[in-house]
Amino acid sequence: MRVRRGLSALICAALMLAAGCDNAEYRQQIAAFQQSIGNTRSAVESYYLEMNQFERDVYFLRLELDQKKKLGIKFLKDSRQREVTEDLVVDGPFSSQAIQARLDSISLLGLYGTRLAELAGTKAPVAFANNAAALGDNIVKLSGTFENLSGGGADPTAARYIGPIGRLIGIAGRLYLEHKRDKALTAEITAAAPVVAEIVQLLNDDFDEVIIPQRLTGMKGAIETLKVSYNNRLDDPNSSRQSRRALLTEIDTLVRNYELLVNARPQEVLQSLGRANAALQTYATSSHAPESLGQLVARMQEFSDRAKEVAAAIREIKDIRKELSRNEN
């Protein structure tokens, strides 16, 4: 009898320990999720931030190398107006409001990751309350920005963001009141995961439909501009070997940049974020069985690796650009 009681106590203790380990691992995965969202955020953000600067870079390169091309500057007075121009565009060609709204959506995803980590952390309720302001006015304004953008027709894709952004804000606000950590964690993940998935899909569509075509065609055009210029110099008896070498070095760095962009495929980190988010949702609503924890760990690892890879590629692209501008000076 005593042996049986002792055995039961041992089994109980082992089960509690296993559950404790599972919870610790689960929380660790949430911390990893937050960290990878942070990496994704900085990678994705840089593409949005550079959209207009990239257009200016391509424009200036053509201007430098094509002696027949004259400088033209257009001030985009009304961000809702869409106009075809091959001149230099001030505050465009992509509306700064539309770019900012996307950046705020990415911030919202980052805040979601932070909140999850806070909930999973040991000082959850305190950190939760202290950071309430972070999810306050600025983020609530976001859905209003998207409504304005889509209303005027300047950015029709903005309309698709309104629904999920509004819902995510609602979920975040509602859960301030929750105090039981695991319950709140499961509730937050269950409610927010589909919305996060929707926002991630919209950002992914932006990359597929706008950002990547803009970058790849621009970079290819820049490389061919340099190539045409190089071949013209070959016909010029006054061109020096040094000047040709400088052009070839420039072509080489741009080609490397192009290869990095093609291979980094930043939209894949968003797809990976989508899969990690789905795995988190599956685990949160499951009975926390070891095999589903295994799947969660695998997805989180994949997301973490992809986020690191893309962040590294973007750092390299930035270094190349710095190097290029240093050489020009």
For another protein, the binding residues (CB under 8 A) are 55, 62, 82-86, 93-94, 98, 155-157, 209-210, 213-214, 216-218, 220-221, 223-225, 227-228, 231-232, 235
The CB-of-149 to another protein minimum distance in angstroms stands at 10
Smallest gap from residue 83 Cβ to another protein (A)? 7
Least distance CB 78 / another protein (angstroms): 14
CB of 33 or CB of 94, closer to another protein: 94
Distance (Å) of CA 173 to CA 119, 230, 262, 274: 14, 59, 39, 23
Amino acid in the structure at residue 321: R
Least CB distance to another protein at residue 279 (A): 31
Pick the closer one to another protein by CB: 29 or 225: 225
Rg (CA), the chain: 25
* Least distance CB 303 / another protein (angstroms): 28
The set of residues, in sequence order, having a beta carbon less than 8 Å from that of 151 and lying 6+ positions away, is none
Q: Which CB, 225 or 272, lies closer to another protein?
A: 225
**Which is closer to another protein, CB of 158 or CB of 317?**
158
Cα–Cα distances (Å) from 270 to 19, 102, 164, 307, in that order, read 31, 14, 16, 9
Compute the distance between CA of residue 185 and CA of residue 191 in angstroms, rounded to an integer: 10
In the complex, what is the shortest distance from the CB of residue 99 to another protein, in angstroms, rounded to a whole number?
11
User: Minimal distance in Å, beta carbon 86 to another protein?
Assistant: 5
Nearest residue (CB) to another protein, 64 versus 86: 86
State which residue, 78 or 305, has the beta carbon closest to another protein: 78
Q: In terms of CB distance, is 88 or 324 closer to another protein?
A: 88
